[in-house]
């Protein structure tokens, strides 16, 4: 019964994989990439049939090794489909192939000496092969292009099913369990179950696009090293099992001592870690850098935001330091022809206060050359003539911690120089370092230039805001000067009148208060013109505006001025004062009227004059623009400021004017209930 199960399970697997091979023969003839797949199907079918008929364990073992080798070759062809091949990737697959080769040697030696330890050694090598193959399957799927994972998922599941079964089978066989015989008989069924998975996956071969990263390669190397360590220990233990000498204790002590010394050297020493990283990158990979990883990290560091993020200038230095494993760096910026330290990040040395004064000329020279300079070359004498001609400060040459300088060029204009500190393990920079640093310098220069441009724009906006405030204030001062001039003229005629003197003192106090308020509004953090909206009666506001503007002209207040509106009293008085002043200046002796009209939800204030009026084009295009005026010597600010104040209070202003017939400005404001006086308590 057991032999029957073994035969039919393996025969079923052979039939299914033979069908797969025949199905893929046409594609293999047209596409060379499909030949490995068709060959893997063929060898799997051959192995399954040989296992079913049982010609001998050695022949079946050779067939299994050939099957595994071809499947691993297929994985390797997928992993190296891109042009960016890595030497470390070849080492990973080479290690697994070497284990398969050792397995073939062990099978051959077992034929010569069936009673020797080669049987146990062969089992250990098969365990290692299955474990290594599973590592490769995992990394191939994990590092596949996101769009192709759905296409290769079934194929990787099929391979994983085959090798997981093998791993468990040989592990149990090595431990001497009786379950291994039953697992061997049903082994063909596990392979047969993988055939439909390959059938569905083979229909999507055009989507198989694999690209392994350096992280995947290092991970594969680490896992394979672990597997190799355990395999070696198991082989040595098996070989020494019959010697009669207990070698295990001494061997374990020696291995532990070597691992302890290696850890003590590598872990605390930054120089040793740097040396190891340089050597691994040099001998395992075709390129020194994983450019995708470096670029993503560089841009993420530059664009990091949040309350805990470093300032942009420090992030910029850190981004460059991370590329070449520098412990720190500093950013030099232009300062009146010389250099100044713009930012530092973990800089190990001290920049002398006077050390940057001898750097005049370096900025323009670096901008002209655009060269990345390695200071070890300047100190050791193997720098080029162009590098030696750059006028670097003396302290940078003498300070051994200064390693390399990277110019930040934005549209051929230098915006900064990044100086990096030397790592513990110093190495000479090569073309990859220079290319990556130069490209990163262009990107960093764009970010820094944008930040500097935004800062300059913000400063320009602040100056613009200051100029706008000053223009408004100058206009208000002009009105105050007119009021004080009128007061001075009247003082010559009415200085002896006590009532006039009292009114003059009140007017002077009011003018001084307004001037102080105007000066306060020039402060950078002064409050807005419209500070607080509340229910206010209009009569005192309009009365104050009329009293301040009345000279020898008659300004009449008409309508029910006792109504209230939702306004800022100071801002409304100022806006109405501007419009009254314009009306007085435009009229020729005729009275100016201020009429109040109340509605359900709004209150209107109409300021009318019978002056020269304005045409429609001026009203539409120039009236509410700053510095536009029909008056000679006028600033053109009054109407613009009045509308700004009214709009800020939630109101609006309209104009009705005809040349020669006068002008009416109508202010519309939200109506409000009269403010209630606080209730008095009755004792």
Maximum CA extent, the chain: 141
The mean pLDDT value for 52-67 works out to 83
CA dihedral for 102, 105, 107, 109, sign (positive or negative): negative
207 & 281 share domain: no
282 & 341 share domain: no
In 3D, which of 65, 8, 43, 60 has the Cα closest to residue 185?
Answer: 8
The larger pLDDT score, comparing residue 550 to residue 387, is at 387
Look up the domain containing 371 and give its range: 298-448
CATH code of the domain containing 430: 3.30.450.40
The mean pLDDT value for 590-615 works out to 89
- Domain final residue pick, 380, 414, 448: 448
Does residue 115 fall inside a structural domain?
Answer: yes
- Domain final residue pick, 401, 424, 448: 448
What's the total number of domains in the chain? 4
Helices then strands, counting H and E runs in the chain, come out as: 23, 12
101 & 176 share domain: yes
The mean pLDDT value for 263-268 works out to 47
Does residue 650 fall inside a structural domain?
Answer: yes
In 3D, which of 339, 337, 321 has the Cα closest to residue 329?
Answer: 321
Burial class (CB in 10 A: 0-12, 13-18, 19+), 312: buried
Alpha helices by DSSP H, listed for 203-269, are 214-239, 248-266
60 & 181 share domain: yes
State pTM to two decimals. Answer: 0.44
Does residue 512 fall inside a structural domain?
Answer: no
DSSP states along 333-355? EEETTEEEEEEEES--S---TTT
What gap in Å lies between CA 168 and CA 171, rounded to an integer?
5
What gap in Å lies between CA 521 and CA 648, rounded to an integer?
17
Cβ neighbour number for residue 30 with a 10 Å cutoff: 8
Q: pLDDT-derived band of residue 571, with 50, 70 and 90 as boundaries?
A: confident
User: In this structure, what token pair is assigned to residue 336?
Assistant: 């009146």
175 & 231 share domain: yes
User: Helix %, strand %, coil % for the chain, to 5?
Assistant: 60, 10, 25
pLDDT over threshold 60, residue 213: no
Does residue 549 fall inside a structural domain?
Answer: yes
Q: pLDDT-derived band of residue 9, with 50, 70 and 90 as boundaries?
A: confident
What gap in Å lies between CA 410 and CA 417, rounded to an integer?
12
The mean pLDDT value for 324-330 works out to 87
272 & 241 share domain: no
What gap in Å lies between CA 617 and CA 439, rounded to an integer?
56
254 & 241 share domain: no
User: In this structure, what token pair is assigned to residue 438?
Assistant: 């130069």
Radius of gyration, alpha carbons of the chain: 45
The mean pLDDT value for 51-71 works out to 84
pLDDT over threshold 50, residue 681: no
Which range is least confidently modeled, 172-186, 336-350, 512-526, 646-660? 512-526
Q: Which residue has the tokens 């093998």?
A: 166
The larger pLDDT score, comparing residue 292 to residue 233, is at 292
Does residue 491 fall inside a structural domain?
Answer: no
pLDDT over threshold 60, residue 169: yes
128 & 13 share domain: yes
135 & 188 share domain: yes
Residue-wise pLDDT for 343-381, tens only, equals 888 888 776 554 455 566 787 888 888 888 888 888 888
The answer to whether 20 and 199 are in contact (CB under 8 A) is yes
pLDDT over threshold 50, residue 285: no
The mean pLDDT value for 461-473 works out to 66
Does residue 457 fall inside a structural domain?
Answer: no
CATH code of the domain containing 539: 3.30.565.10
261 & 174 share domain: no
Contacts of 106-115 with CB under 8 Å at 24 or more apart are: 107/58, 107/61, 107/62, 107/65, 108/58, 110/58, 111/58
539 & 610 share domain: yes
Does residue 259 fall inside a structural domain?
Answer: yes
225 & 266 share domain: no
- Domain final residue pick, 245, 262, 277: 245
Does residue 83 fall inside a structural domain?
Answer: yes
């Amino acid at each position: 019964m057991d032999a029957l199960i073994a035969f039919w399970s393996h025969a079923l697997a052979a039939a299914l994989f033979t069908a797969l091979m025949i199905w893929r023969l046409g594609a293999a003839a047209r596409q060379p990439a499909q030949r490995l797949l068709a060959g893997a199907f063929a060898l799997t079918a051959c192995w399954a049939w040989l296992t079913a008929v049982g010609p001998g364990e050695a022949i079946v073992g050779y067939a299994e090794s050939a099957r595994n080798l071809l499947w691993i070759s297929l994985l390797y062809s997928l992993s190296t489909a891109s042009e960016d091949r890595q030497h470390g990737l070849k080492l990973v697959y080479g290690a697994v192939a070497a284990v398969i080769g050792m397995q073939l040697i062990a099978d051959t030696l077992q034929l010569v000496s069936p009673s020797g330890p080669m049987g146990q050694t062969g089992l250990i090598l098969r365990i290692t092969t299955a474990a290594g193959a599973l590592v490769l399957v995992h990394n191939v799927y994990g590092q596949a292009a996101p769009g192709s994972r759905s296409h290769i998922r079934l194929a990787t599941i099929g391979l994983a099913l085959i090798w997981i079964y093998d791993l468990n089978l040989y592990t149990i066989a090595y431990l001497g369990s009786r379950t291994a015989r039953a697992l061997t008989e049903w082994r063909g069924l596990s392979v047969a179950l993988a055939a439909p998975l390959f059938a569905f996956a083979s229909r999507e071969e055009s989507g198989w696009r694999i690209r392994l990263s350096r992280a995947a390669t290092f991970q594969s190397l680490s896992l394979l090293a672990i597997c190799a360590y355990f395999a070696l220990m198991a082989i040595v233990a098996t070989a020494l099992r019959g010697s009669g000498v207990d070698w295990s204790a001494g061997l374990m002590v020696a291995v532990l001592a070597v691992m302890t010394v290696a850890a003590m050297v590598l872990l605390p020493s930054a120089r040793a870690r740097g040396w190891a990283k340089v050597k691994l990158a040099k001998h395992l990979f075709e390129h020194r850098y994983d450019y995708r990883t470096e670029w993503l990290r560089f841009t993420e560091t530059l664009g990091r935001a949040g309350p805990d993020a470093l300032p942009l200038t420090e992030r910029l230095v850190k981004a460059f330091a991370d590329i070449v494993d520098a412990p720190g760096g500093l950013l030099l910026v232009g300062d009146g022809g010389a250099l100044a330290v713009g930012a530092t990040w973990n800089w190990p040395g001290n920049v002398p206060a006077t050390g940057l004064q001898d750097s005049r000329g370096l900025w323009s020279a670096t901008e002209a050359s655009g060269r990345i300079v390695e200071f070890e070359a300047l100190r050791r004498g193997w720098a080029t003539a162009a590098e030696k001609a750059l006028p670097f400060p003396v302290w940078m040459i003498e300070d051994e911690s200064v390693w390399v300088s990277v110019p930040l060029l934005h549209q051929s204009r230098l915006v900064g120089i990044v100086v990096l500190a030397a790592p513990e393990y110093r190495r000479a920079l090569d073309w990859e370092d220079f290319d990556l640093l130069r490209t990163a310098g262009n990107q960093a220069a764009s970010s820094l230039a944008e930040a500097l441009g935004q800062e300059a724009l913000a400063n320009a906006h602040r100056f613009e805001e200051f100029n706008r405030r000053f223009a408004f204030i100058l206009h208000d001062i002009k009105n105050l000067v007119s009021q004080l001039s009128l007061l001075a003229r009247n003082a010559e005629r009415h200085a002896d009148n006590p009532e006039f003197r009292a009114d003059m003192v009140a007017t002077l106090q009011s003018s001084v208060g307004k001037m102080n308020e105007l000066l306060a509004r020039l402060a950078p953090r002064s409050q807005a013109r419209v500070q607080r909206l509340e229910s206010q009666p209009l009569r005192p506001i309009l009365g104050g505006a009329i009293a301040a503007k009345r000279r020898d002209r008659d300004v009449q207040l008409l309508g029910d001025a006792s109504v209230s509106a939702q306004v800022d009293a100071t801002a409304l008085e100022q806006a109405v004062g501007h419009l009254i002043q314009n009306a007085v200046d435009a009229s020729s002796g005729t009275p100016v009227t201020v009429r109040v009209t109340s509605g359900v939800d709004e209150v209107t204030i109409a300021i009318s004059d019978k002056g020269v009026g304005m045409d429609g084009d001026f009203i539409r295009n120039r009236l509410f623009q700053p510095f536009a005026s029909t008056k000679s010597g006028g600033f053109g600010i009054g109407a613009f400021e009045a509308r700004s104040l009214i709009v800020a209070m939630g109101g609006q202003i309209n104009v009705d004017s005809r040349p020669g017939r006068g002008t009416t400005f109508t202010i519309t404001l939200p109506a409000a209930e009269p403010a209630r006086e606080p209730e008095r308590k009755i004792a």
